Structure 1
Amino acid sequence: MSFSSFGLSSSLLKGIQALGYSSPYPVQQQAIPAILKGRDVLGIAQTGSGKTAAFALPILEKLLKQPVATNRSVKVLVLVPTRELAMQVEETFYNLSIHLPHKIKTMAVYGGVSINPQMMKLSGTAVLVATPGRLLDLVDHNAVKLSEVEVLVLDEADKMLNLGFKEEMDRVFSLLPARRQNLLFSATLGGDIQTIVATQLHNPVTIEVEAEASVPELIDQVAYQVSAEKKGPLLRYLIRRENMEQVLVFASSIRTADNIVGKLKKNGIEAAALHGDKSQGARTEVLKQFKAGKIRVLVATDLASRGIDIKFLPYVINYELPRSPKDYVHRIGRTGRAEASGKAISLITPEDAHHFKIIQKKMGKQVTIVQTDDLDLHGA
């Protein structure tokens, strides 16, 4: 199957080709035709499955056939849980629309930055990508109107609920017109998600992509058993031994992330942290430099990692294990994307051993564990 088989406009196909997409992923094969037909869609798919393009392409195709937006009434609303994901979705829409015959304005709005510049830029926006809290702030300032929304997208709906956005989401629903197309994407289908499906979606096409089973096959996983006090030297040893030029390191707390960065810099390894204590401007700049290869090591917390979408990221390191097996799969899924191979490394202390066994069992894959007692970490 090719993208041209969907009947997409030639200008959109040029955008797809420019991004290097050769053939549609499974979620795209099912979602694009359904969305073009106006159906509601329920997509159960992990980050990295291609879902952003799965809804962006048919939405852009529909907007091509409509007059250019000139007021503050948006036609498409995409709700997302984090600022980073908002920027990623906006970037996807922008990249796909570069070759369109007329501009379809997409804008991302989120908290953590001044609201005034966002208010000033909203006029003429056709696709609004927003975190729930900032969206409602803009509504309360009469900066945007939701009464003419034709398509609602809930991206990573489970994360929005986990982050406590349920009340805000319910209020957004109350502001939307009853007749609209609804597209909901989530990694899980819990109770709250099922309530939204039952109350907001009409006879949806259900698409389920089992990412957990396929992600590990693309990734070379290895774990190193190490004492807590030797984690730092081992991290630096691995970065140097494997000549890692671009590596994403996961820490479980802001404090640990900052400490890791400090020690890496002290040992001559260029690094930066990405977490919630950084200003939005600083986070955007750090992520930009990391994607461009100007920062060798990016140390991130789980929340900040949402939206880190790098096509050929070669290495991911779990300096600390996440709480759940699903979060582990999400972390290592930052590499091995777009059908490219990658390597995921985990540093396992004796206290982590039992938890790591549970992760492996849930993942259905045994990970090679390397002993580090004989490694010379002196000077690392």
Structure 2
Amino acid sequence: MPFTSLGLSPALLKALADQNYTLPTPIQQAVIPAILNKKDILGIAKTGSGKTAGYVLPVLMNLQHTIETKNRHVNVLVLVPTRELAVQVKDVFQVFSPFLTHPIKTLAVFGGVSINPQMMALQGVHILVATPGRLLELLDSKAVHLTDIDTLVLDEADKMLNLGFKEEMTRIIDLLPKKRQNLLFSATLTDDIKQINQIVLNDPLVIKIDAEQDTIDTITQVGYLVPDEKKGPLLRYLIKKHDMKQVLVFAASTYQTDNIADKLRKNGIDAKAIHSKKSQGARTEALRDFKSGELRVLVATDLMARGIDINFLPYVINYELPRSPKDYIHRIGRTGRAEAPGDAISLVSPQELHHFGIIQKKMGKLINTIDSESLGF
């Protein structure tokens, strides 16, 4: 099914063509026509499924017909769990909005940086992408008003609930006009999501996309059996031997991400770490350089990696295995997107070997394993 069959305007179809979007993903096929028809949506789809463009395109098109001009009265509110995702969503809106007839201003606001520039930037904003805590601060300062909200989007609602934003989300929702369109997206359908659904959504269209296996099938997976103390040398050996570029390395802690990146740099491999204790400026710069291909290796925790959305990311390396098989699938699913091939490598210590077996069993797929001693690195 092509984008031309989904009801989008010629201007947005041109924008899609200019951005090399060819065919819609399953979530985009399902949600775009429904959002254009002003339906409430409960969308369950994993990270990397294309859901951001899936709601951005129809929200922009609908906004063209209902745009409000009162200053500091935003029309669309998108709530997200992290500043990285806020910037990513804002960027997608800004990619497509210049093609529209009426100018639309999008702003991302989040904590960890000064609030004053964000308060000033709210002049003339139509679409606000916000983390819950910073939005409440702006509301308390009367820097923004929600009485004209036409569309509410809760993106990665499961993460917002996991990070303890339930009370803040409820406070914000209570401030919104009763008559509005609601779009709730989550990677999982938990009891908390069902509860939020009952509070927020009005007779929603429920869309569940389970494309994990399809994604996995385009990924070449391999595990290297290696003692913990040799993981660093093995990582450096693999990157250099295979001349890897754009390598996303997952680590379990902020300390470990810094340690891995430091060791890579000392051995002549350009690398940066990204985690919650880094300044916003450092995180934004690292993400930008990695997405553009200027940075060879980005070492990240699971939470910080949620702001990384690259269609053709070639390599994902698990320096340490994640706690759950689902997290493993989410990690490696950042490569092998859009039917492009990708490589997922796991460095597995003797202590992790049993857990690695559980991951394979849950995934229903055996992973080729190599004893690192045979490499002679």
Tell me the residue number matched to 2:122: 122
1:14-53 Cα distance to aligned partner (Å, 9 max, x none): 1111111111111111101111111100101001111001
Task: Measure how far apart 1:87 and its partner are.
Answer: 0.7
Q: Which residue of 2 aligns with 1:168?
A: 168
| CA distance in 2: counterparts of 1:300 and 1:273, whole angstroms | 6
State the AA in 1 paired with 2:372. Answer: T
The answer to whether the 8 A contact 2:150-2:180 is kept is yes
Contact kept, 8 Å, 2:46 with 2:186, in 1: the verdict is: yes
Q: Which runs of 5+ in 2 are unaligned?
A: none
RMSD across aligned positions (CA):
1.1
Rounded Cα–Cα distance in structure 2 between residues aligned with 1:14 and 1:98: 11
CA contact (8 A) 2:156 2:186 kept: yes
SS at match of 1:220: strand
Paired residues for 1:245-260 under 5 Å: 245-260=245-260
- TM-score for both structures, normalised by structure 1: 0.97
Task: Give the drift of 1:7.
Answer: 2.4
**C-alpha deviation, 1:70, in angstroms:** 4.3
Write the distance in 2 (CA, Å) between the matches of 1:368 and 1:69: 58
Name the structure 2 match of 1:61.
61
CA separation of 1:67/1:39 partners in 2, compared to 1, >3 Å: closer, same or farther? closer
What secondary structure sits across from 2:42 in the alignment? strand
- Tell me if structure 2 keeps the 8 A contact 1:215–1:329: no
Deviations 1:94-141 (A, max 9, x none): 111222222111111111111000000112111111111111111011
Amino acid at match of 2:30: Q
Cα displacement (A) at 1:207:
0.6
| Structure 1 match to 2:149 | 149
Q: 1:298-355, CA deviations, whole angstroms, 9 ceiling, x for partnerless residues?
A: 1111111111011211001000111111111111111112221110000000100111
What SS class does the counterpart of residue 99 from structure 2 fall into?
Answer: coil
Structure 1 residues 195-214: aligned runs within 5 Å:
195-214=195-214
| Contact 1:335–1:342 (Cα < 8 Å) also in 2 | yes
Contact 2:111 2:134 in 1 (8 A): yes
Percent identity over paired residues = 62
Tell me which residue corresponds to 1:356.
356
Q: Secondary structure at the match of 2:307?
A: coil
Tell me the distance in 2 between the aligned counterparts of 1:44 and 1:127.
23
* Corresponding residue number in structure 2 for 1:303: 303
Give the TM-score normalised by the residue count of structure 2. Answer: 0.98
Q: Is the 8 A contact 2:7 2:33 kept in 1?
A: no
In the alignment of these two chains, the number of paired residues is 377
- Whole-Å separation in 1 of the counterparts to 2:147 and 2:312: 40
Match of 2:217 in 1: 217
Q: Runs of at least 4 residues of structure 1 off by over 6 A? A: none
The residue identity in structure 1 corresponding to 2:350 is P
Return closer, same or farther for 1:166/1:314 CA change in 2, 3 Å cut-off.
same
Contact 1:43–1:184, Cα closer than 8 Å, also in 2: yes
> What is the CA-CA distance between 1:66 and the residue it aligns to?
3.0
Q: Give the equivalent residue in structure 2 for 1:368.
A: 368
Aligned partner of residue 98 in structure 2, secondary structure: coil
Match of 1:19 in 2: 19
Amino acid at match of 1:86: A
Contact 1:69 1:125 in 2 (8 A): no
2-structure distance, mates of 1:215, 1:6: 24
Aligned to 1:271: 271
